[in-house]
Structure 1
Amino acid sequence: MEDNHLGVDFGSKLAGTTAAAMVQQGELYVWQCEKGNDADQWLQELVRQQSPNVIYIDAPLTLPKAYGFAVPSPAADFFYRQADREVQAMSPMFLGGLTARAMRLRALMANQGVAMLETYPAEAVRLLLPQLQGYKKDPAALPDYTAALQRTLNYKLHTLPENWHQFDAILCWLSGHRHQQQQSILYGDPYEGRIII
């Protein structure tokens, strides 16, 4: 089935900042975990209900390649992967617990036959909506971003995103759509971890 993938903006475990987007009945739906709920369990339950074949998630799924060597060179990059540098993302090491949660979730999903790939909404905005200002800084900019994004989507939004987390989940879904259509840009070293936009 075309576009049977889930886009996920992955947040802190109990903060209520994890959101997901997926096509249902020809429209793009968005869900968000409630504050105080375990986002990892919430996401696993959503995957059980929606049965995506791929998840595109805004979270590091690999570590810098320095960690793959028994004795890495002191000159190796212990903080950033090549993909992080290319899209100006935060270090997976700085994100620590979030990175570990995402990598564990990827292993759990792989056991269930669901692929999990990495994306980065901030780069999608730079690439697809460069004309707009105020991304994630100004709540008043959200309607303009939503309207511009809706024009690039093949699907109607079932409901408008209420916050930047939901907007980012839609961007994660869109990066997945671009990837499925062979229109995506791949950043980074394939042996270290790609970011798909």
Structure 2
Amino acid sequence: MDDTHMGIDFGAKLAGTTAVAMVRDGALRLWQSEKGKDADSWLLYLIAELQPKVIFLDAPLSLPKVYAREAFTTASDFFYRQADREVQAMSPMFIGGLTARAIKLRTQLAAQGIAVLETYPSQANRLLFPHLQGYKKSLAALPTYAGALQGLLSCPLPIPPANWHQVDAILAWNSSYRHLHHQAILYGDPKEGVVIV
């Protein structure tokens, strides 16, 4: 049972939508930030307490390559990275504040020796549960997803997810598990930014 990996659904700073999944005492446990409180401070505190070695984060960790590695041309993509297009994700530029917070978090944690890798739970859902309906659309679908997740996981999930943020945290953690066991799919250009699912 790997208790060194953490999955995070990274939400808006004060929205109470940042959720974390990590193995503790042989089971996958869930944590979630509180609405109105600083999710970044809470997350840094939780990471210091749980001591993961690798974090799989649901947020962009780089910008389109045009901003760092090539001259501007009319063909330059100013909005999307190759990985964003491959997994049908939002532009890191559109969610600029969240992207900046995620890159800052990655930098802070790298200084502590903690690796932060990018994942995308929506793509994991498409890969793992193409037969299920209602993902992020209705709370009524949560029990079906909780059952499907339990069947997928290598460890027990004693408390089922209470919302879609927690489902995404579990999917982020599962991407880390897949990566650890050489089952993950990598999307994008390594020189620009890779999404691991």
TM-score, L = length of structure 2: 0.98
Letter aligned with residue 119 of structure 2? T
- Residues 1:147 and 2:147 are matched in the alignment: yes
Distance 2:155 2:127 in 1: 20
3-state SS of the aligned residue for 1:92? coil
Describe the shift of the 1:69–1:190 C-alpha distance in structure 2 as closer, same or farther (beyond 3 A).
Answer: closer
What are structure 1's unaligned runs of at least 5 residues?
none
Letter aligned with residue 45 of structure 1? Y
Letter aligned with residue 73 of structure 1? T
Distance 1:3 1:196 in 2: 19
Q: Which residue of 2 aligns with 1:86?
A: 86
Deviation track 1:19-71 (CA, whole Å, cap 9, x = no partner) reads: 00000110000000000111111110110000000000000000000001463
Distance 1:149 1:127 in 2: 13
Distance 2:70 2:189 in 1: 20
- Residues 1:5 and 2:5 are matched in the alignment: yes
Contact 1:3 1:177 in 2 (8 A): no
Q: What is the aligned residue count?
A: 197
Shift of 1:3: 4.3
Shift of 1:4: 1.1
Q: Which residue of 2 aligns with 1:32?
A: 32
Provide the alpha-carbon RMSD of the alignment.
1.0
Distance 1:119 1:163 in 2: 19
- The percentage of aligned residue pairs carrying the same residue is 62
What are structure 2's unaligned runs of at least 5 residues?
none
**Structure 1 stretches of at least 4 aligned residues deviating more than 6 Å after TM superposition:** none
- Residues 1:66 and 2:66 are matched in the alignment: yes
Deviation track 1:171-191 (CA, whole Å, cap 9, x = no partner) reads: 000000000111100000010
